[in-house]
């Protein structure tokens, strides 16, 4: 079974034109030298397209072995210490909404409420960032962003890379700032209040807020 079959059936329908691309990427992947694990590559796509209320875009998976598990910015529940970007996200969440940092960095709790956590590049080699930058993932995830944006979802774009996808989202439903990484968090991520802004937009559209 190829990795395309890991997609939720609704995503398989919506992204059917990209099955050959995914098959080509699949042929390039070394299953024994990849992160996240092969079976978790499409973890973000367990959330069907019609249930996506909010989309947060990352760049590529954490290269630290054992950290990435298929959701952008998220790590498995036992991972310590948390990656710096995720720590900064939790810090902003506390300042923004008064939410104390969670006991772990597993963001499946967000995904289960309709938050798509999608990296633009879905795989890399352990210990090496952007190792699969030229495999073609960006074409696939850009098509995903277009589907989600046209559905009326809220888009959260942290950093210039993510902001390339903002063109597919209603400007009134787009929240952009610097990236939460230590290199840029003080240049506009801290104080940007993305979590409260998202919930305000959800309230305005009559949708249930995210319990961050």
Q: Catalytic residue positions?
A: 60
DSSP letter assigned to residue 166: G
Give CA 33 to chain center in angstroms.
Answer: 22
Distance in angstroms (rounded) separating the CA atoms of residues 40 and 109: 16
d(CA 17, CA 162): 23
CA distance 83 to 146: 29
Which residues, in sequence order, are CB contacts of 104 under 8 Å at separation 6+? Answer: 75, 77, 78, 79
148 phi/psi in degrees, rounded to 5 = -70, -45
**Of 17, 14, 13, 24, nearest in space to 3 by CA:** 24
């Amino acid at each position: 079974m190829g990795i395309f079959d890991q997609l939720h059936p609704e995503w398989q329908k919506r992204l059917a034109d990209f099955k050959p691309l995914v098959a080509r990427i699949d042929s390039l992947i070394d299953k024994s030298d990849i992160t996240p694990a092969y079976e978790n590559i499409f973890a973000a796509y367990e959330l069907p397209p019609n249930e996506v209320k909010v989309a947060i875009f990352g760049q590529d998976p954490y290269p630290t072995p054992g950290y990435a598990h298929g959701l952008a910015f998220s790590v498995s529940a036992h991972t310590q210490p948390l990656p710096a970007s995720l720590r900064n996200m939790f810090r902003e969440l506390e300042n923004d909404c008064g939410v104390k940092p969670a006991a772990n960095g597993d963001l499946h709790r967000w995904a289960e409420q309709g938050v798509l956590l999608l990296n633009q590049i879905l795989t890399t080699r352990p210990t090496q960032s952007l190792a699969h930058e030229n495999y073609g993932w960006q074409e696939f995830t850009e098509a995903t962003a277009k589907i989600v944006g046209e559905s009326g979802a809220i888009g959260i774009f942290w950093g210039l890379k993510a902001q390339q996808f903002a063109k597919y989202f209603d400007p009134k439903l787009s929240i952009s700032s610097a990236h939460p990484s230590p290199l840029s968090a003080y240049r506009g991520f801290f104080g940007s209040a993305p979590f409260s802004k998202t919930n305000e937009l959800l309230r305005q559209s009559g949708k249930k807020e995210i319990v961050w």
